[in-house]
Every structure is written in C-alpha cells, then in structure tokens.
C-alpha cells in the first residue's frame, strides 16, 4: 500500500478532545514505522447537525468511501434524547456500518495489568482475562424489517424484528472461528435458543458451520443471560464470544466495565467495505469539553486501525505498548484513578502526551 488514507470523524461530546489525542498518536506511530499516512476530518452526527448538515453529510460519506479506514469518535447528544431513532444523530453510525456492510464488530476485553485494581471485580477474578467479543453488526434486532411505529385496535405500538438468515450467521460465525484459530481456539456462541426461533436457527447454523469447517475449534453454546452472569463470575473461561447485534451491544458494555472503565476499550468493525474503528464508549456529554475524558480507548482504537485496517500489527502493538507504559508510569484520568500512591491525575491532553512520550 503506497499511502494509507484515513477518514477521521471526531463525533460528539468528548469525541473531539479524545480524537485530538488519538490523531497525534496515529501520526507519530505512522512516522516511527515509516508508514506513509494521510488523513482528513469531516463531521457527522450532532456535530454535523449543528452546522446545518444532515447527520451523515454527503462529503463525509464521500471521504469515507475514498479512504482505507475510518477512525470514528462516539456519536450521541442529549438534546435528541426523546427523538425517535430515525431522527437521532447517532443514526449516522448505523448508516455507516450498513453502507460499508461492516458485519463483524470486534471488541476485545483485555484488562491492562497496571489497571487491575481499577476493576470492580476482585483481582483474582480479573487477572489473566483476555477475550474477544464478536458482535454481529448489520442485522438482527437493529436492522431487520418490519420496524417502526404503527397503530392497531389496542393503540399505538413500536416494532422491531429479530430475523437472521443462515448466511448471515455463517459469515459472522466464520469470523469467530477464524479469530479463535489465532487465539486459544475456543468459541462461545451466545444465543437465546430456549425462547426465540431466530436464535434456534443461529445455534443450528453455528453448529453445522463448526462441524463442516472448524472441527479443530471448541464450540460451546450458551444462553446470553447466562453468558452475562458468567462474564462477571468467571471471565477467564472465555476466549471468543460471538453474539447477535443487540446481545453483543449489551455484553460488550459489561465486558468493558471489567477493565475498570468504559474509557479503555477499542473496537474494529470489519466487513466487505471500508473498515471502521471506534471506541466502545459513548459521547459522555456530562464531561464534554472539560478535559476530563479518558482518551485511551480512542488511542487504542487507532492501534486496532493499524492492526486490522493497515495490516500492520507491529504498529498496533507499539500503540498498545505505549498506552501500557503511560499507565505504568502512573498517569490516570479521573475515571481510572484510585487515589493510590504513585498515581498522577491528568487531563485528556496530558494523558495523550504521556502516550506520545512513551511511543
Ligand atoms: C455502540 C453504541 C451504538 C450501538 C449506539 C450509539 C447506536 O451503543 O456502538 O455500542 O448501539 O451500536
Ligand atoms: Mn453500545
């Protein structure tokens, strides 16, 4: 690849401040490894609406289409809290996922050793945890039709549909098994086959795919409610978890919190089009603009972009290592500070600078 082109969408709330840090780290990492990298920024979501533009402006979409990867901040703004889903600015993210057919969302849960004491779980439970949630991202309850509002004899209603075709389950299952092959060869498929036909089909399809092509991988099926319980009770047992869109959304917030803060987890969305990289957390409007936000999830997201977008895991690892080094030196944003000796409470910008210095 002669030149790696990145479309940067800072997003809403804390998005711009954490993106500043992530972009600085991205540039420094590319320079260090002599990867020619260019980038351009464009608005989306509430940031676009505030400029009189639609949530996903044409020029932003065009920039994404002409790039090799999208580095995307969090979307969402409380001013639209009561608006229907179709009018909310964060819809732009769902449109991006759908437009580029980004069906596989990779959300790693791997606590940084320096932060073990920031986890709400006891050290003996959290130590050594390392799993990967693979969330189906363009189907299921978020996208299947019919959806919307209606009215019948019993009054107004809202409707969404949980439908999966076997091919959709097969393609996300394939990613899960392939990722497991690079790890500890265990896949846990979280479903709700005891209550839902769509999930019965999910289970059968996963099993068939396994038996035909991935018999070397251990496959277990687990009901998603039990999975949530197990993530808290015994998180070390997991290697790869694969789940339906909304189940994966919920499990990944749970997983993220195990690491001590939602502000620590990156994600990669892969599929047939331009891959998108975004932190798992939201736009945290309550602390926006105050320099308090933790930029590490966004910085680690840039790391995932190198690994999966530029196929340069060496650069991705350098970013991860720099984050870990900054934490080892004691730097903490408020969300991960525990008032322990040796900790230095820092702002968003200072944290990003500490990572840069370690790089
Ligand atoms: C996420 C977010 C989004 C989702 C929202 C902002 C639409 O929660 O990326 O996990 O539900 O997918
Ligand atoms: Mn979510």
Every domain of the chain and the residues it spans: 1-105+265-359, 120-258
Around ion ligand 2, which residues have CB less than 5 A away?
Answer: 249
Q: Which residues are known to be catalytic? A: 142, 192, 225, 249, 253
Please say whether the beta carbons of 125 and 234 come within 8 A.
yes
Nearest Cα neighbor of 137 from 162, 103, 167 is 103
Determine whether the shortest distance from the Cβ of 249 to ligand 1 is under 6 A.
yes
Give the tens place of pLDDT for each residue, 13-56. Answer: 999 999 999 999 999 999 999 999 999 999 999 999 999 999 99
For residue 1, the model assigns a pLDDT of 60
User: 306: exposed, middle or buried (C-beta count within 10 Å: 0-12, 13-18, 19+)?
Assistant: buried
Give the tens place of pLDDT for each residue, 201-231. Answer: 999 999 999 999 999 999 999 999 999 999 9
Structural tokens at position 81: 């809290």
User: What CATH number has the domain spanning 120-258?
Assistant: 3.40.718.10
Q: Do domains 1-105+265-359 and 120-258 have the same CATH topology?
A: yes
- Report residue 141: phi and psi, to 5°: -60, -25
- pTM score, two decimals? 0.94
The pLDDT > 90 percentage for the chain reads 92
Structural tokens at position 316: 């991705």
Statement: residue 194 has pLDDT above 80: yes
Give the tens place of pLDDT for each residue, 129-155. Answer: 999 999 999 999 999 999 999 999 999
Report how far ligand 1's centroid is from the alpha carbon of 288 (Å).
18
Please tell me the distance from the alpha carbon of residue 35 to that of residue 37, in angstroms, as a whole number: 6
The pLDDT > 70 percentage for the chain reads 100
Residue 212: CB atoms within 10 A of its CB come to 9
Determine whether the shortest distance from the Cβ of 90 to ligand 1 is under 6 A.
yes
Give the tens place of pLDDT for each residue, 282-299. Answer: 999 999 999 999 999 999
Report how far ligand 1's centroid is from the alpha carbon of 76 (Å).
9
User: 327: exposed, middle or buried (C-beta count within 10 Å: 0-12, 13-18, 19+)?
Assistant: buried
For residue 112, the model assigns a pLDDT of 86
Determine whether the shortest distance from the Cβ of 76 to ligand 1 is under 6 A.
yes
Statement: residue 74 has pLDDT above 70: yes
Give the tens place of pLDDT for each residue, 218-276. Answer: 999 999 999 999 999 999 999 999 999 999 999 999 998 898 888 899 999 999 999 99
CATH of region 1-105+265-359, choose from 3.40.50.300, 3.30.450.70, 3.90.1200.10, 3.40.718.10: 3.40.718.10
Distances (CA, A) of 331 to 30, 37, 217, 323: 24, 29, 40, 10
């Amino acid at each position: 690849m002669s030149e790696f082109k990145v479309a940067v969408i800072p997003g809403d709330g804390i998005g711009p401040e954490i993106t500043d840090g992530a972009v600085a780290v991205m540039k420094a990492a590319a320079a260090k490894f002599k990867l020619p990298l260019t980038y351009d920024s464009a608005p989306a979501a509430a940031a676009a609406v505030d400029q009189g533009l639609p949530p996903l402006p044409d020029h932003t979409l065009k920039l994404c289409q002409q790039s090799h990867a999208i580095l995307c901040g969090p979307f969402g703004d409380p001013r639209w809290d009561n608006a229907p889903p179709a009018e909310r600015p964060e819809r732009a993210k769902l449109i991006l996922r759908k437009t580029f057919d980004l069906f596989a969302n990779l959300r790693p849960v791997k606590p940084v050793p320096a932060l073990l004491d920031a986890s709400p779980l006891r050290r003996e439970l959290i130590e050594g945890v390392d799993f990967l949630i693979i969330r189906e991202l363009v189907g299921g309850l978020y996208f299947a039709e019919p959806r919307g509002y209606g009215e019948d004899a019993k009054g107004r209603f809202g409707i969404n549909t949980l439908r999966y075709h076997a091919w959709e389950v097969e393609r996300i299952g394939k990613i899960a098994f392939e990722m497991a092959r690079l790890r500890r060869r265990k896949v846990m498929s979280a479903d709700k086959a005891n209550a839902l036909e769509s999930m019965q089909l999910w289970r059968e399809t996963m099993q068939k795919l396994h038996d035909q092509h991935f018999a070397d991988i251990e496959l277990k099926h687990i009901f998603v409610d039990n999975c949530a319980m197990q993530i808290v009770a015994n998180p070390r047992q997991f290697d790869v978890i694969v789940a339906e869109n909304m189940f994966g959304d919920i499990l990944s917030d749970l997983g993220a919190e195990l690491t001590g803060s939602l502000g620590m987890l990156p994600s990669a969305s892969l599929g047939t089009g331009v891959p998108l990289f975004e932190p798992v957390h939201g736009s945290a409007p309550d602390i926006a603009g105050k320099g308090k936000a933790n930029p590490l999830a966004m910085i680690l997201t840039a790391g995932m972009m190198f690994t999966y977008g530029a196929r340069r895991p060496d650069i991705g690892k350098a970013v991860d290592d720099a984050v870990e080094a900054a934490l080892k030196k004691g730097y903490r944003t408020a969300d991960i500070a525990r008032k322990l000796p040796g900790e230095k409470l820092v702002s968003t910008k200072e944290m990003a600078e500490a990572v840069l210095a370690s790089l």
